[in-house]
Amino acid sequence: MKRYGNATKLIIALALTAGITTGGISPAQAANETKQIKNVIILIPDGMPSDATALARWYKGSDLALDEIASGLVRTHSADAPIADSAPAGTALATGHKSHTGFVGVLPDEATMPGEDPIAPGDARKPVASVLEAARLAGKSTGIIATSEIMHATPADFTSHYPSRKEYDILSKQQVYSGVDVVLGGGSSYLSPEGRADGDNLIASIKALGYEYVTTPEAMAKSSSSKLWGMFSSKAMAYDMDRNPAEQPSLAEMTAKAIEVLSKDEDGFFLMIEGSKVDWAAHANDPIGILSDVLAFDDAVKTALDFAKQDGETVVVAVTDHGNGGLTIGNSSTTGTYDTEPLSTFIDPLKRAKLTGEGLEAKLNSDRTNIQAVMAEYFGITDLSNEEIQAIRDAKAGSMNYTVGPMISKRSGIGWTTGGHTGGDVVLYAYSPTNDRPSGVIDNTDVAKYMARVLGLDLDAVSSQLFVPAKQAFAAKGAEVVLDLNDAKNPKAIVTKGSTKLELQIHKNIAILNGAKKTLKGVNVFNGSDLFVPQDAVDLIK
């Protein structure tokens, strides 16, 4: 802690009295500089369109929790494209490195966007450490929350490493053995033997690792465990507007529980929270899904901010990984009347909806003969055309929001430019008790670097510690490495040197040295061509 001499104390006292600043820094800011940041909470409303917060604010009728902490803009491009997929966009936020479409927590094959440094020879697809992993090695507790499957791109970016976001078997196994303290979200089917190509029972593994495994909001609330794993849906969780509170907790409730558990650690914590299905609604051009989950996300932001303001040692960051859909308040129908349209033109049709398009699908009977009654009751639409009725009747299971989202958009003057991601800058929101927060236009990689800096973490050093190229490292010790990938459930690498035999279980943090089990500081990562292991695995060979 800084100590001030008598002269400095006098200057600060005078400044406090006169309301002046010293050297451009207020006395309050000077005092804040002595505060230690122990915790970081990052909240990601995946794929949130730029106009979504304005629409949500009008719909809600009051300010958002996000509003008071807006601080700048973030560039969202990936290493080789101006419009990013969630996997490289999340990798940038998690690790401070750009990557390629579909790549999770690894470097790209090449970096071709203007201003990007080329990838060093031999570094393509190499794993890089996330802020979460660095925080864990520094002794902090860690957690991830998502309303999608927990092994979906963004939560996986903070906890896993593989050049394909589709490989749920691999990503989820790494997550289970990553040492994260709190995991809350959806995706239980991908942890059970029946839902996995490798047939592994990761739910049993989770329990064996000491987690309390819960599946209901009630069980989550009652848990007193310091290691908590909550799965509230077999796949993604419901949109908040469609959610059954007895079966699934809200994003704010999961946030509060994670903070309750993690904040018990005197060394601090790192928590990542994703409002996953904002992105899914934007892909579907479904404004009701957008409103549902942007507002639910904002409630989670308020929960995090309330804690941070009371705690005094917590930084809160909120930022989407990329835009999506190109939502606009106003569409082609308002071209000539945009400045005379009342607020009711845009909001009243949205207010009539009681469910998202996804939730509405469950209200249709099997032969879909009740389309008009359902649309009137749950969407407030009573003027369906014959073409719209047929479109609803023909909609494939699981895609109803893609069909009815544009219908309510048309009636509410909401415009969309695409069903895909967009490449514009997005708003950065940040709160710090010391007022040390990014501003201006920054890169998405700078978000990770900022979080690492305020926590005193060195991401490059952690990458070097966690992801050592195994072949070269063991060869330097006179040892031989052989990969055994025949058993999909238990792939491994066998390292031998004389009479010493070391088994490294791939995508787990487990090593077996001459029959004795060891727990490593990180997982053994095989990226499809090369094996990377923690330094403490290398150190087992003498």
Give binding residues for Zn(2+) as ranges: 46, 279, 283, 321-322, 421
* pLDDT at residue 54 is higher than 60: yes
Mutual angle of helices 386-394 and 400-411, in 10-degree steps: 160
Superfamily classification of domain 39-327+422-462: Alkaline Phosphatase, subunit A (3.40.720.10)
Q: What is the pLDDT of residues 147-158, one digit of tens each?
A: 999 999 999 999
Average pLDDT, the chain: 94
Q: Say whether pLDDT at 28 is over 80.
A: no
pLDDT score at 464: 98
Tens digits of residue pLDDT in 94-118:
999 999 999 999 999 999 999 999 9
At 25, the pLDDT band (50, 70, 90 cuts) reads very low
Assign domain 467-538 one CATH number from 3.30.457.10, 3.30.70.20, 3.30.450.70, 3.10.20.600: 3.30.457.10
Question: Which whole number is the average pLDDT over 21-41?
Answer: 60
> Given this model, what pLDDT does residue 3 score?
33
Q: Please state the φ and ψ torsions of residue 195, each to the nearest 5 degrees.
A: -100, 10
What pLDDT is recorded for position 35? 73
The pLDDT value recorded for residue 32 is 52
Asked if pLDDT for residue 377 goes beyond 60, the answer is: yes
Catalytic residue among 50, 71, 86, 130: 86
Task: Choose which CATH entry (3.90.850.10, 3.30.460.80, 1.10.60.40, 3.40.50.150) describes domain 337-414.
Answer: 1.10.60.40
Chain CA centroid to CA 311, Å: 23
Average pLDDT over residues 487-508: 96
Distances (CA, A) of 234 to 208, 230, 244: 21, 11, 15
Cite the annotated binding site by residue number. Answer: 46, 152, 154, 274, 279, 283, 321-322, 421
Binding residues for Mg(2+): 46, 152, 154, 274
Q: Which positions ≥6 away from 520 have C-beta within 8 Å? A: 509, 510, 511, 533, 534, 536, 537
Pull the structure tokens for residue 272.
């990542």
Phi/psi at 298 (5° precision): -65, -35
Choice between 23 and 288, residue whose per-residue pLDDT is larger:
288
Q: Quick one: average pLDDT of 42-69?
A: 98
Predicted confidence at residue 7, as pLDDT, reads 38
pLDDT score, position 33: 54
| Digit-coded pLDDT (tens) for 511-521 | 999 999 999 99
Q: In the annotation, is 148 catalytic?
A: no
Please say if the pLDDT value at position 498 is more than 70. Answer: yes
How would you label 148-179 residue by residue, b for 16+ Cβ within 10 Å and e otherwise?
bbbbbbbbbbbbbbbbebebbbbbbbbbbbbb
Output the DSSP codes for 417-453.
S-SSEE-S-EEEEEE-TT-----EEEEHHHHHHHHHH
Tell me: the pLDDT tens digits for 359-373? 999 999 999 999 999
- Give the rounded percent of residues in the chain with a pLDDT score beyond 70: 94
Do residues 525 and 159 lie in contact, with contact meaning Cβ atoms separated by under 8 Å? no
Domain ranges (residues) in the chain = 39-327+422-462, 337-414, 467-538
**CA dihedral (408, 410, 413, 419) positive or negative:** positive
Residue 533's pLDDT is: 98
Q: Is the pLDDT of residue 31 over 50?
A: no
pLDDT tens, position by position, 345-354: 999 999 999 9
* Six token digits for residue 307: 């804690």
Local confidence band at 196 (pLDDT 50, 70, 90 cut-offs): very high
Whole-model pTM?
Answer: 0.93
Contact in structure between 88 and 98 (CB atoms under 8 Å): yes
What is the per-residue pLDDT for 14?
Answer: 32
